[in-house]
Amino acid sequence: MVEKTYRLIYKQLIKLFAGFTLATVLIFDCCAQRGPSLISDDETQTFLANIIRPLFNVAGISFDENKIFIVNDNSLNAFVSNGNYMFVHTGTLINADNVNELSGILAHETGHIAGGHIARQKLRLEQMQTLSVASLIAAGAAAAASGRGDAALAVMLGSQSSLLNALSAYQMQEERSADESAIKYLAQTEQSAKGLRNFMKKIQSHNRLSGYNEVSYFRTHPLSMEREQFFNEALKNNSFSDISPYDEDFKLIKAKLSAFLLPIERAQNMYPVDDVSKAGLYANAIINYKKSNFNKAISILNKLIKQDPKNPYFYELKGQFLFESSRLKPALNAYKKALELKPSSNEIMLSWAHTSLELPHDKQTLQKIITVLNRIQHKNPSSTGWLLLARAYDENGQKPYALYCSAQYSLTIGNIEIAKKQINQASIEAPESLKLKLADLKNFITQKEENGN
C-alpha cells in the first residue's frame, strides 16, 4: 500500500480528532482528499483476475473476481479492504512496464490480506479513539490545574503524537511482513521478484518528484531504498522469469486505459499515429474517437478485428462507439458478436440490454431483456442495471417490480428517502413473490439508518 491507504487511515484520524484543535486538523488536511471514482471494464477486470487468482490460491485466500475494483486515480497504488476486496489504481496499471511489475504489487497486497493486517489496523484505530478521549480528559485536567490553554494543547498534541508513532511502527512492521509474503508468493507461482523491485524504484522516483520527504515524521512505510535492498537480496534466490503469458493482454489494457484517461496529447506521445502494433492501433482508435474522428476510429477498430477476430473487446469497443454516436442497429450487432465470444461478460450483456431497450422491440425481446438484467443484477448488481431493469419492468406493465428496482437504484446512489417512498408505493400492489424482497430492502434501510450510515 503506497499512498491511498495513508489517506484512508488519515481520513479516519481526521474524524477521530475533529474538533480537538485547529492545529491537529491541519496536520492531516493535506490527506483529506475526495475519493476518486471506480471504473468498470470487463477486459481489465478479467486480466486482473488472472493475475490475482494464483496469488490468492498459494496464500490460501478465497478468490472472488467480483471483489476486484479499478480505481480511477493516477497515483502508483493498490490497496485491500475487509472482505478480501482488491483495489487497483489506474496509475499503477498505466505506469507498470509489464505484468511482472503488477504481479509484484498485487502479491504485496495479498500479503496484507493473508497477514490479517486490515482487521488489526481497524482494532488499533478503535484503540486510538479510546486513548484520544483519555488525552482530552488529561488535557482538560491540565488546563484546570494551570489555568492555561496552552498546557492543555501540549498534553493533547503530545498524546496524539505518541498514538501516531505507535500506529506508524505497526504499519512499518506490516509492510515488511507483506514484502516477505510477496517474495514467497511470487516464488510459489514461479514469477520473478524483479518486477516488484523495479516498481519500488518507480515509487521512490515518484515520491521524490512529488516532494515527499521519506524521513517524514508521519511516514508509515519502510523507506523505498530499504525495500529495494531487501528485494535485491531476495532476487539472489529467485531465478524465475519476469515474462508472463499475459504480457500481450496487458499491453492492450495499458493502451486502452492510457487513451481513455490521459490527456490526448500525452496519450498520443505514448502511441504515435504510425504505431501499427495492436496496442498502438487500440490506443489510436480511442484517441481518434475522443477527437471526434468517428470514421477513422471505426476504421482502425476494423483493422484490429481483421487481425484478431476472436477478441470480444474489439467488438465491445466498436459497439460503444456506435451506440454513443446513435448508430444503434450496428451497435447491437457489435455487442451480439462480442457476446458470442464472451457470453459470461456481465458488462457486455448490460450494453446489449441497454441497446436493445433503445431500439424498437417486441414482447419476446423485452422478456429476454428482463431475464438478462435480472441475471446480471443477481450476480453483480450495479446502479445502471437497476435503472435499466426498472425501465424494462415499467414498459412490461409490472409497476411494483419497476418501483422495487427504482428503490434499489435510489439506494445505490444514496437517495434513501426516495427509496423509502418507492418501497411504500411498490408495497400497495406487490404480488407475494415481491413482498419479501420489499421487506428485506426496508429492513436493510432501517439498519443502515440505525447504524448512522
| Residue type at position 190 | E
Do 390 and 311 fall within a single domain?
A: yes
Q: Which residues contact 343 (CB under 8 A, 6 or more apart)?
A: none
pTM, full prediction: 0.79
Summarize pLDDT for 435-453 with one digit per residue, the tens: 999 999 999 999 888 777 6
Q: What CATH number does residue 387 fall under?
A: 1.25.40.10
Indicate the number of domains in the chain.
2
Closest CA to 367 of 384, 351, 353: 353
240 lies in a domain? no
| DSSP letter for each residue of 337-399 | HHHHH-TT-HHHHHHHHHHHHHS---HHHHHHHHHHHHHHHHHS--HHHHHHHHHHHHHTT-H
Residue 337 pLDDT exceeds 60: yes
**Average pLDDT estimate for 112-136:** 55
The span from the CA of 401 to the CA of 392, in Å, is: 10
Do 253 and 134 fall within a single domain?
A: no
Do 72 and 172 fall within a single domain?
A: yes
- How sure is the predictor about 20, in pLDDT bands with cuts at 50, 70 and 90? very low
73 lies in a domain? yes
Do 142 and 220 fall within a single domain?
A: yes
241 lies in a domain? no
- End position of a domain, from candidates 190, 212, 235: 235
Residue 84 cell numbers, joined: 478480501
Summarize pLDDT for 79-95 with one digit per residue, the tens: 888 888 999 999 999 99
Q: Which domain holds residue 252?
A: 247-450
| Residue type at position 22 | L
- How sure is the predictor about 72, in pLDDT bands with cuts at 50, 70 and 90? very high
- How sure is the predictor about 138, in pLDDT bands with cuts at 50, 70 and 90? very low
Q: Are 78 and 89 in contact (CB under 8 A)?
A: yes
Residue 202 cell numbers, joined: 518507480
pLDDT at position 219 is 43
Do 175 and 28 fall within a single domain?
A: yes
The span from the CA of 353 to the CA of 355, in Å, is: 6
Summarize pLDDT for 393-447 with one digit per residue, the tens: 999 999 999 999 999 999 999 999 999 999 999 999 999 999 999 999 999 999 8
Do 98 and 221 fall within a single domain?
A: yes
| DSSP letter for each residue of 216-238 | -TT--S--HHHHHHHHHHHHTT-
Summarize pLDDT for 244-265 with one digit per residue, the tens: 999 999 999 999 999 999 999 9
- End position of a domain, from candidates 205, 235, 265: 235
395 lies in a domain? yes
Give me the helices (H) in 60-116, please. Answer: 90-95, 99-114
Angle between the 416-428 and 432-450 helix axes, to the nearest 10 degrees? Answer: 150
Summarize pLDDT for 184-237 with one digit per residue, the tens: 999 999 999 999 988 988 877 776 655 555 444 334 444 566 777 888 888 888
Share of the chain above pLDDT 90, in %: 61
Do 188 and 130 fall within a single domain?
A: yes
The span from the CA of 42 to the CA of 257, in Å, is: 12
231 lies in a domain? yes
Do 223 and 342 fall within a single domain?
A: no
368 lies in a domain? yes
415 lies in a domain? yes
Do 23 and 87 fall within a single domain?
A: yes
User: What phi and psi values does residue 42 have, to the nearest 5 degrees?
Assistant: -60, -40
User: What phi and psi values does residue 427 have, to the nearest 5 degrees?
Assistant: -70, -20
Do 127 and 85 fall within a single domain?
A: yes
Residue 379 pLDDT exceeds 50: yes
Give the lowest-confidence range in 147-161, 244-258, 266-280. 147-161
Do 261 and 132 fall within a single domain?
A: no
- End position of a domain, from candidates 235, 270, 305: 235
Residue 405 cell numbers, joined: 428496482
Do 362 and 297 fall within a single domain?
A: yes
Q: Are 324 and 315 in contact (CB under 8 A)?
A: no
Residue 124 pLDDT exceeds 50: no
Q: Are 320 and 351 in contact (CB under 8 A)?
A: yes
